[in-house]
Amino acid sequence: MKKIGVLALQGAFIEHIKMIKLLGHEAIPIRKAEQLGNLDGIILPGGESTAIGKLMREFDLKDRMIELIKNGIPVWGTCAGLILLAEKIKNDPIVHLGTMNITAVRNSYGRQLGSFVCNGKIKGIEGEFPMVFIRAPHIERVGQGVSILAEIDDQIVAAQQDNMLVTSFHPELTEDLRMHQYFINMIS
Ligand SMILES: NC(=O)CC[C@H](N)C(=O)O
């Protein structure tokens, strides 16, 4: 059984916690730096990256998380979580972790009408996967060491660099557990 910390400052953290528990693992909502010890993995949920970034800094989570990620802890950012992990944010920069060698574009499908669902292929997962996009970012550039896991309409929507996984879409808002299983498999 793995112990996964889900950053619980704002956004869709409850859904991630449910999915991790459904897979038989422990999921802990993280709100304080003291809770970051002894975790096997960290999930950064979707939400409002501007708010999550500021709260992370205010609650002294930011530097500790950067350190853990650089030391190799598996981390998965969905949507706003992708923006937090991106080294560069092309538009509307925010307080972020910046550990992954990618450039993210925020709200890249329009601000109001930018939510949609489609099926797509993800490298390492059989068949199609339901992808829920909510005012989602896309990845404009992947640097050295980053592999592209999924593209929709020629835009990169999932990628991995060693211990860091990012998806523009929200697997926690579907009933499909395979992306969460993929993340669990990144541990150990
Ligand atoms: N669903 C989401 O996480 C949306 C991300 C949000 N639009 C942002 O830029 O932070």
Q: How confident is the model at residue 96 (pLDDT cuts 50, 70, 90)?
A: very high
Question: Residues 79, 96, 138, 180: which is the catalytic one?
Answer: 79
Model pLDDT for residues 147-169, shown as the tens digit of each residue: 999 999 999 999 999 999 999 99
Note the pLDDT of residue 93: 86
- Residue 109: is its pLDDT beyond 90? no
For residues 136 and 109, is the Cβ–Cβ distance under 8 A?
yes
- Residue 30: is its pLDDT beyond 60? yes
Binding-site residue positions = 47-49, 106, 134-135
This complex has an ipTM of 0.95
| Distance in Å, CA 80 to ligand 1 centroid | 4
Asked if residue 80 has its Cβ within 6 Å of ligand 1, the reply is yes
* Backbone angles phi and psi of 48, in degrees to 5: -115, 105
- Domains, the chain, ranges and CATH? 3-186 (3.40.50.880)
* Backbone angles phi and psi of 86, in degrees to 5: -65, 135
Asked if residue 62 has its Cβ within 6 Å of ligand 1, the reply is no
Quote the tokens at residue 121. Answer: 């292929």
Asked if residue 100 has its Cβ within 6 Å of ligand 1, the reply is no
